[in-house]
Amino acid sequence: MSTPTKILDAIMVMVQSPAIDGVKFYRNKTYAVPSEKETAIVNVKLGREMPPSLMSAPTLVAATADRTTEVLIDILARGDDALDQCERLRLEVTRRLYANESVNGLAFDIEDGGAVRDGDDLDGSVIRVTAAIFIKYRTLGVDND
């Protein structure tokens, strides 16, 4: 399993606990819309992988590479207060992430990548907020594990 996949698994555990009433969490779902039973949906998926920055030092046996992977958090809600629901969830999910910035020892830094807010193209009653989080981690050389 690659480091980005391990990071995504750890993030899924972090953002789902404790549970949030009426919110369904998904991992790498291509597209989701809240049903009548759900208040909102949070979909956590891997985004872009940035090129590594290679570092070496005379005292190191092998060079290390600092890597950055983007984690996208799609939050969708339905109804008159959909934007407010999305914003509250975005703040809560990012608060949970920043409470464990090392992502259980897999990363050395987390950076906020901003958010995009828009309506859903297929269902006008749904609002989507996508937050980007950049997770920085270190590997040996060009390995991504």
Instruction: Kindly state the percentage of the chain with pLDDT values over 70.
Output: 82
Predicted confidence at residue 31, as pLDDT, reads 66
Single out the residue of 40, 113, 116 nearest to residue 82, CA to CA. 40
Question: Has residue 75 been placed in a domain?
Answer: yes
CA angle 83, 86, 91 (to 5 degrees): 125
Per-residue model confidence as pLDDT tens digits over 71-122: 999 999 988 888 999 999 999 999 999 999 999 999 999 999 999 999 866 6
pTM of the model: 0.83
Question: Has residue 73 been placed in a domain?
Answer: yes
Confidence at 51, pLDDT banded by 50, 70, 90: confident
What distance in Å separates the CA atoms of residue 104 and residue 106, rounded to the nearest whole number? 6
Question: Has residue 19 been placed in a domain?
Answer: yes
Q: Is the pLDDT of residue 4 over 60?
A: yes
Average pLDDT value over all residues in the chain: 85
Domain that holds residue 117: 3-140
CATH number for 87: 3.30.2000.10
Question: Has residue 145 been placed in a domain?
Answer: no
Predicted confidence at residue 139, as pLDDT, reads 85
Q: How many domains does the chain have?
A: 1
